[in-house]
Amino acid sequence: MRLSPRHPRYRSLLVRERLAEALRAGVVVPEGLIAHGRGETFDYLLGERSLPSARRAERVAARWLLEAQHPVVSVNGNVGALAAREIARLARAVPGLSVEVNLFHRTGRRAELIGERLRRAGVRNVLGVRPTARIPGLPSDRARVDRRGIYVADVCLVPLEDGDRTEALRALGKRVISIDLNPLSRTSRMADLPIVDELTRALTHIANDAARGRRPRRRPGLTPFDAGGALREALQEIDRRLLRAGRARGR
Amino acid sequence: MRLSPRHPRYRSLLVRERLAEALRAGVVVPEGLIAHGRGETFDYLLGERSLPSARRAERVAARWLLEAQHPVVSVNGNVGALAAREIARLARAVPGLSVEVNLFHRTGRRAELIGERLRRAGVRNVLGVRPTARIPGLPSDRARVDRRGIYVADVCLVPLEDGDRTEALRALGKRVISIDLNPLSRTSRMADLPIVDELTRALTHIANDAARGRRPRRRPGLTPFDAGGALREALQEIDRRLLRAGRARGR
């Protein structure tokens, strides 16, 4: 299908095409497409823009990544398909950030393909393609991580993560920054710093904030963040928009 | 992946697996999986059950199908993958109901596969596999219909339809019953009788109501229905649930 840039849904149609291609290439799995659709609805309900509360969360996320001893960003199929460039920019903006491929539906082939996409986008050192450690509390493949990455990380940025894994990371004492458009998801509720925003917007903002904000790391501890307040603001915004839509509905 | 029926998300995981299989079989397209995910979010926000307003809409839908001269149900890839049996039951419950394959991303092969699924589920006469007419106002393939089906229909049941096509059917003077979990979608807003409910629940309810309700057809005209009111009730329900979730969020 040929897309016109003037189509009102141009961006989301383009993203859908990119995912369909990544599916054919074996980078994303069918479940990833369904998950993307779930996110699309929340983005639509949030007005398809970064809320002020999300921007605040992104600024604090940039600081956490700079303040961390071992910051890591976890990359799954959808992130590899949709945001390899943004991940590379983030890695340039945050010195010492590890980039680790971490898949829910893991095959060696998929991990290789995603690693390859990240390298082509400019990520120098991609971890996790051949996992070397396990995190406890998770079944089988989903527990496999890199000994130099998530295994030793103190701060993990997990875009589009599932609730079980977020919980397992928390149980290991790691501080978790999530990017998830669903403010009600277990990931958003479990994360220390939930960012309720679309993947590429969030990563771009964090990279920009980190590039500007480089400064001597403060010790000990991380900048405080009100996770519950951030989620409440996202819910309230959805609510406001629904009420407005309901009122505009007079037939 | 082996699924346990005791898993809290068993049903939705099963549906996702069925869609992933249908994708591999060529019955659904990647865009169909993304659309399914969008619907999942609305179903979740609506509490994953049929609202009283949806049940009312389903009862009126059954009457419209019985009152119509030429009722038709339109079947796309997702409907063929997820609800072939429910479509067959509906066809048994509504005498004279035409079942027509109608695809957004049409190939002859996909139309054949979906026709085959419907026949295996018990639909005697499947229309639309080889389209024989066009409806005006739509580009290319999406306009192709069956001369004995949608082309002559007075009442069209369109589960999971896109807004353009719903609009084109309305412009031809047809009465449109939609099944769409998004109460804000153009399809829901354009339909004469929008049903905001999950596909298989809605089809089962309509079939049950039609099987019970068989009676001499009233002429002229169809039972009245307050479309705007039905959509408002769905929006209000999402709203109530979000507010409740927001309050339960105290950290």
Q: Both tokens of residue A17? A: 């095409």
Chain A hits for B249, CB-CB cut-off 8 Å, are 189, 228, 231-232, 235
Cα–Cα dist B67/B198, whole Å:
24
Contact A239 B235 (CB under 8 A): no
* Model confidence at B6: pLDDT above 50: yes
pLDDT-based confidence at residue A251 (cuts at 50, 70, 90): very low
Q: Can you tell me which residue has the tokens 């169809």?
A: B222
Chain A hits for B250, CB-CB cut-off 8 Å, are 228
Q: How far is residue B199 from each of residues A199, B15, B39, B126, measured CA to CA in Å?
A: 29, 11, 10, 20
Q: Which residue among A20, A227, A239 places its CB closest to the CB of B31?
A: A20
Contact B235 A251 (CB under 8 A): no
Strand B71-75 versus strand B155-159 pairing type: parallel
Of A105, A63, A57, A58, which is closest to residue A80 (Cα–Cα)? Answer: A105
Top residue of B11, B12, B18, B41 to mutate, by most chain A CBs within 10 Å, is: B41
Q: Both tokens of residue B89? A: 């039951």
Chain B hits for A227, CB-CB cut-off 8 Å, are 251
Q: What is the ipTM of this complex?
A: 0.91
Q: The pTM is what?
A: 0.93
Chain A / chain B CB contacts < 8 angstroms: 95
Q: Which residue among A36, A40, A227 places its CB closest to the CB of B251?
A: A227
The percentage of chain B sitting over the pLDDT mark of 90, rounded to a whole number, equals 79
* Model confidence at A158: pLDDT above 60: yes
Among A113-127, A211-225, B83-97, the minimum mean pLDDT is found in A211-225
Contact B245 A30 (CB under 8 A): no
pLDDT-based confidence at residue B91 (cuts at 50, 70, 90): very high
Nearest residue on chain A to B192, alpha-carbon basis: A251
* Model confidence at B216: pLDDT above 60: no
Model confidence pLDDT, tens digit, residues A6-47 = 776 788 889 999 999 999 999 999 999 999 999 999 999 999
Looking at CA atoms only, how far is residue A231 from chain B in angstroms?
8
Chain A hits for B29, CB-CB cut-off 8 Å, are 20
Q: Which residue among A40, A232, A242 places its CB closest to the CB of B38?
A: A40
3-class DSSP state of A114: helix
Model confidence pLDDT, tens digit, residues A162-221 = 888 899 999 999 999 999 999 999 999 999 999 999 999 999 999 999 999 766 555 678
Host H or E run for residue A3:
none
